[in-house]
């Protein structure tokens, strides 16, 4: 007799309806691959009367996700409502308590409560799976937990928010300002209801926090991420960076250093010839570096109905096949609590400054950089029409601390017309 796996799906928006569509249209394929009949028994959303463009007949309806999570005819609670707290968390906890496995796409909930939820799940012998929570359709969780299990992971890098990458690449290709492209992206529905989650780097940082935990065997630490969004990236910087052979990306980087776990999500320059530099539009890319395997580059759709539902199905199929792994790749009670480390590893930096157009200004800046131990690799001065002279500097490798010391010293002089822009150049 064929086994069956009974799903209760809470959330019938973009991802939830995508999951229902795949399960309805690919029942035979899923059954052949898993030896299990994957069946939806009950669903839940806020508005029962909404036309969702998908056939829901044959499924019981619940108004309350907690009631759905506790139903006797549900083996796996599929949480696709979203939100770090509120109904998603309450219903996930109720499902675990009722002895159900959980599949979710909710990066916010995992970034904020991942450790507690993992401990709760594992103490009861349950699973929480979340392939769709990071980089949409790209199977990066599987790659890290399974494909690279024999490696010490040395670094995780990624462009993990398609909306930000769309904005930055569109600014460059169309020569538009940040404000103009933001309005355009908003109009096209590319941004979250709270756009700060996208452009403030928060959504991408949630994903980085989850990947760091799996990569380095550490407890999820969202608050330890150095975070800066793309709101201050100007079209001037994009143009100047391009002139010098770079692209600006909202880049997530995580690595273990002698001082702890370094995690940052901020605009960085990458060589325009690199795979990350050539990533255009809303696509995501995650680069994983392992001591044995070297560098792996994963690229694909980071959001959208099909790609995200595809990732949810990967988790559901694993449960159907009885693949049972700890939440973050190793038991939650063995994950180390690390202290966050500010970027200590040296890197070259891009500096843009507007100098007052007076004799000795440039020499003063060079001296202050030198005093802080920052040496200049390349410098460009641009033509100007007013009282200020735009200057670009690419430094040799230096620490952020040394650079901040130089910038603080410049602040006390009369040669700067505005606050300098300093962006890290990441070697990728």
Ligand X SMILES: NC(=O)c1ccc[n+]([C@@H]2O[C@H](COP(=O)([O-])OP(=O)(O)OC[C@H]3O[C@@H](n4cnc5c(N)ncnc54)[C@H](OP(=O)(O)O)[C@@H]3O)[C@@H](O)[C@H]2O)c1
Q: Which residues bind ligand X (CB under 6 A)?
A: 10-16, 44-47, 50, 65, 80-82, 87, 105-107, 132, 136, 303-304, 308
Between the CA of residue 331 and those of 99, 300, 319, what are the distances in Å? 18, 29, 17
Q: How far is the CB of 359 from ligand X (least distance, A)?
A: 55
Structure tokens at 46: 């806020």
Q: Edge-to-edge strands of the sheet including 260-271?
A: 226-227, 260-271, 246-257, 153-159, 283-290, 294-301
Query: CB of residue 310 vs ligand X: minimum separation in angstroms?
Result: 11
Q: Which of 100, 142, 207, 247 is catalytic?
A: 207
Kindly state the smallest distance separating residue 12's Cβ from ligand X, in Å: 4
> How far is 252 from 276, CA to CA, in rounded Å?
11
Could you tell me the sign of the dihedral formed by the alpha carbons of 21, 22, 27, 31, in that order? negative
Closest to ligand X by CB, 162 or 290:
162
| CB of 122 or CB of 203, closer to ligand X | 203
Q: Is-catalytic flag, 397?
A: no
**Smallest distance from ligand X to CB 191, Å:** 12
Token look-up 């229902």 returns 20
Question: How far apart are CB 260 and ligand X at their closest, in Å?
Answer: 28
Which residue lies nearer to ligand X by CB, 11 or 290? 11
Write down the H helix ranges in 26-161: 27-34, 65-70, 87-97, 107-123, 140-142
Nearer to ligand X, 16 or 201 (CB): 16
CB neighbours of residue 373 within 10 Å:
13
- Taking the C-alpha atoms of residue 395 and residue 397, their distance in angstroms, rounded to an integer, is 6
For residue 257 the two structure tokens come to: 């250093």
β-strand 294-301 against 349-356: which pairing, if any? unpaired
Of the pair 246, 328, the CB lying nearest ligand X is at: 328
Nearest-CA neighbor of 399 among 342, 351, 353, 352? Answer: 342
Of 127, 126, 88, which is closest to residue 107 (Cα–Cα)? 88
- What is the 8-class DSSP label of residue 345? S
Q: Would you list the DSSP string of 359-381?
A: TTHHHHHHHHHHHTT--EEEEEE
Give the largest CA-CA distance in the chain: 87
| Min dist. Cβ of residue 209 to ligand X (A) | 14
Q: Terminus-to-terminus CA distance in the chain, angstroms?
A: 52
CB of 236 to ligand X, least distance (A): 32
Q: Among residues 282 and 420, whose Cβ is nearest to ligand X?
A: 282
Helix 162-174 crosses helix 235-243 at what angle (to 10 degrees)? Answer: 70
User: What's the chain's Rg over C-alpha atoms?
Assistant: 24
Catalytic residues: 207
């Amino acid at each position: 007799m064929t086994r069956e796996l009974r799903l209760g799906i809470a959330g019938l928006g973009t991802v939830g309806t995508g999951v229902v569509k795949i399960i309805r249209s690919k029942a035979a394929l899923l059954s052949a691959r898993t030896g299990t009949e994957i069946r939806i028994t009950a669903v839940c959303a806020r508005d029962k009367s909404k036309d969702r463009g998908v056939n829901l007949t044959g499924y019981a309806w619940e108004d309350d996700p907690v009631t759905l999570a506790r139903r006797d005819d549900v083996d796996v609670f599929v949480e696709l409502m979203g939100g770090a707290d509120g109904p998603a968390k309450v219903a996930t906890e109720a499902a675990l308590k009722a002895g159900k496995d959980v599949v979710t796409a909710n990066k916010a909930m995992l970034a904020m409560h991942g450790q507690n939820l993992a401990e709760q799940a594992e103490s009861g012998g349950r699973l929480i799976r979340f392939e769709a929570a990071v980089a949409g359709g790209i199977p990066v969780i599987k790659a890290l937990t399974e494909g690279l299990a024999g490696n010490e992971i040395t670094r995780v890098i990624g462009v993990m928010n398609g909306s930000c990458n769309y904005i930055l690449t569109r600014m460059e290709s169309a020569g538009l300002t940040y404000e103009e492209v933001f309005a355009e992206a908003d109009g096209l529905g590319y941004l979250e209801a709270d756009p700060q989650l996208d452009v403030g780097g928060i959504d991408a940082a949630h994903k980085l926090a989850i990947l760091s935990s799996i990569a380095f065997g550490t407890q999820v630490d969202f608050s330890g991420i150095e975070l800066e969004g793309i709101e201050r990236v100007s079209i001037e910087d994009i143009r100047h960076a391009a002139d010098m052979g770079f692209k600006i990306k909202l880049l997530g980087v995580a690595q273990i250093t002698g001082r702890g776990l370094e995690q940052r999500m901020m605009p960085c320059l990458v060589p325009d010839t690199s795979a990350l530099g050539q990533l255009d539009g809303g696509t995501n890319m995650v680069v994983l570096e392992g001591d044995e395997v070297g560098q792996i580059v994963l690229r694909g759709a980071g959001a959208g109905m099909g790609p995200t539902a595809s990732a949810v199905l990967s988790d559901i199929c694993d449960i159907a096949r009885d693949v049972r792994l700890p939440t973050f790749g190793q038991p939650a009670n063995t994950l180390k609590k690390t202290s966050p480390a500010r970027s200590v590893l040296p890197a070259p930096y891009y500096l843009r400054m507007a100098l007052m157009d007076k004799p000795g200004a440039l020499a003063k800046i060079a001296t202050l950089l030198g005093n802080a131990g920052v040496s200049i690799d390349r410098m460009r001065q641009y033509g100007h029409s007013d009282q200020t002279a735009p200057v670009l500097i690419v430094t040799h490798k230096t620490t952020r601390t040394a650079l901040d010391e130089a910038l603080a010293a410049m602040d006390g002089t009369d040669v700067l017309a505005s606050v300098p822009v300093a962006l890290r150049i990441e070697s990728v």
